[in-house]
A = this chain, B = another copy of it.
Amino acid sequence: MRNAPAVVLLSGGLDSATALAMARERGFSCYALSVDYGQRHRAELEAARCVARAGVATEHRIMRVDLAGIGGSALTDLSIAVPETPTTGIPVTYVPARNTIMLALALGWAEVLGARDIFIGVNVLDASGYPDCRSEFITAFNALAVLATKAGVEGAPCTVHAPLIRLSKAEIIREGTRLGVDYGQTLSCYQPDPEGRACSRCDSCRLRRAGFAAAGIADPTRYQPPVV
C-alpha cells in the first residue's frame, strides 16, 4: 500500500539515514524515531533532526530514556573510555539491551499509528559485533511482536525490517548515494567534539571511513583537526 505508515529508527548515523531512504523508496510514509538515552554522542540527535527533514519523514519524534542512569557502556558512562584501536569480542561501546528497548518503543508507536512495518539500520558486516544487530535477534523480535501486541494477536502483527543487514558499509553508502542521502548531515562518531566533528579514531569512524574509501565515494564527514 503506497504511503502506508512505517516507523523508522533514526540514530542520526549513516546506516539509519540509509534505512530511512530505503523505506521512503518502498513508498512508506515514515515516522522517524530517535532515542535520547543519555548517549555521550548526543550530537547524533541533532544530525537525526536534519536527516529526518532531508529524508522527508512525515514526523520525527525523539523519546527520552535514561540509560546513562544505569550505565554499563562506554557510550553512557563517561568514566569508560571509547576504544580507539580495534578490540576483540563485543566492545565496551555495546549498550545493554539498547536495540531491544528501541524496537520496543518503535513497536508501541507503530501500534498506535496502525503501522505494520518498522525499519532499523542494523548490519552485521563492517559492524562492531553487537549481539542486537544480528539477523537472529531481528527474527526473535518479530516472533515476540506477534504475541506482544493487540494488533499481533488479532492477526495484523508489525514486522521489523533490517534492509542493510547483509550489506557491507561500501554497499550501504552506494545505495544511499543512489537514493540521494546527504551523508554530510549524518554523524557516526562515538565521541564528536563540541562542534559535532568526528574523531576519526573510534570503531564507528573507522568503519565509516573505510566504507567511503571502498565505495570510491568522497567522504563528506567533518573530522576534527589532527592533534599536533
Contact = CB atoms under 8 A, between A and B. Distances in A.
A148 B137 contact: yes
Contact of A65 (B63, B146, B153): B63
Q: How many copies does the complex hold?
A: 2
Given A69-B63, A70-B112, A150 B101 contact: no
B100 A104 contact: yes
Contact of A97 (B90, B111, B140): B111
A44 interface: no
Interface residues of A, number: 45
Tell me which of A146, A149, A153 has the highest count of chain B C-beta atoms within 10 A of its own C-beta.
A149
A124 B156 CA distance: 22
Contact of A147 (B64, B90, B107, B134): B134
Interface SS of A by simple majority: helix
Given A97-B104, A104-B97, A105-B101, A140 B148 contact: yes
Interface string A129-171: 0011010110011011111111011100000000000000000
Contacts of A150: 90, 94, 96, 131
A131 B96 CA distance: 26
Interface string A49-76: 0000000000001011111011110000
Contacts of A66: 63-64
A144 B149 contact: no
24 contacts: A61-B70, A63-B65, A63-B69, A65-B65, A70-B108, A70-B112, A71-B112, A94-B150, A96-B109, A96-B112, A96-B149, A97-B108, A97-B148, A97-B149, A100-B107, A100-B144, A100-B145, A101-B108, A104-B104, A136-B147, A140-B146, A140-B148, A141-B144, A144-B144
Interface of A: 61, 63-67, 69-72, 90, 94-101, 103-105, 107-109, 111-112, 131-132, 134, 136-137, 140-141, 143-150, 152-154
